[in-house]
Amino acid sequence: MKTRISEGPRIFFLLAALLICNVFLPPAPIARAGETEILILHTNNVTGYLFACPT
């Protein structure tokens, strides 16, 4: 039987994979000399989520 991995560890391994990919793959958009490249990996509502607040 296939075991489901909960959100936290699942994200952990994905982000790890993305970090590794970021080392070896060329980033987009392409940076030129004098430019700085930064990658921000973002998550939200990993466990809970809501409809828009009424206020």
Partner 1 sequence: MEDVQRGNQRVLVVDSGDLFFKFGADSDGEKAAMKGKIIGRAYRQMGAAAVNVGCLDLLHGLDFLRQESAQGLPLLSANLLNPATKAPIFPPYLIKDVGGVRIAFIGVLPPESGPEISPAIRAANEGKILIRDPIEAAREAMQKLQGKADLIVLLSDLGQYKDQMLAKAVPGIHFILGGHEGRFTRKATQSGMTYIFQSSFKGMYVGQLRLTLENPSKPFRDAGEVQHLQERIDGLDFHIRSLEAGKKRQTGKEAVNFDRTIQEITRQKNALQEELKRAKEAGNQGNRFLFTLEPLENSLPENEEVKNRISRAGIDMD
Binding residues vs partner 1 (CB under 8 A): 2-20, 22-23, 27-32, 34-55
Q: Closest approach of Cβ 18 to partner 1, in Å?
A: 6
Residue 13 C-beta: closest distance to partner 1, Å:
5
Q: What are 35-43's contacts with CB under 8 Å, separation 24+?
A: 41/15, 43/11
Least gap, CB of 25 to partner 1 (angstroms): 11
Tell me the C-alpha distance between 9 and 17, whole Å: 12
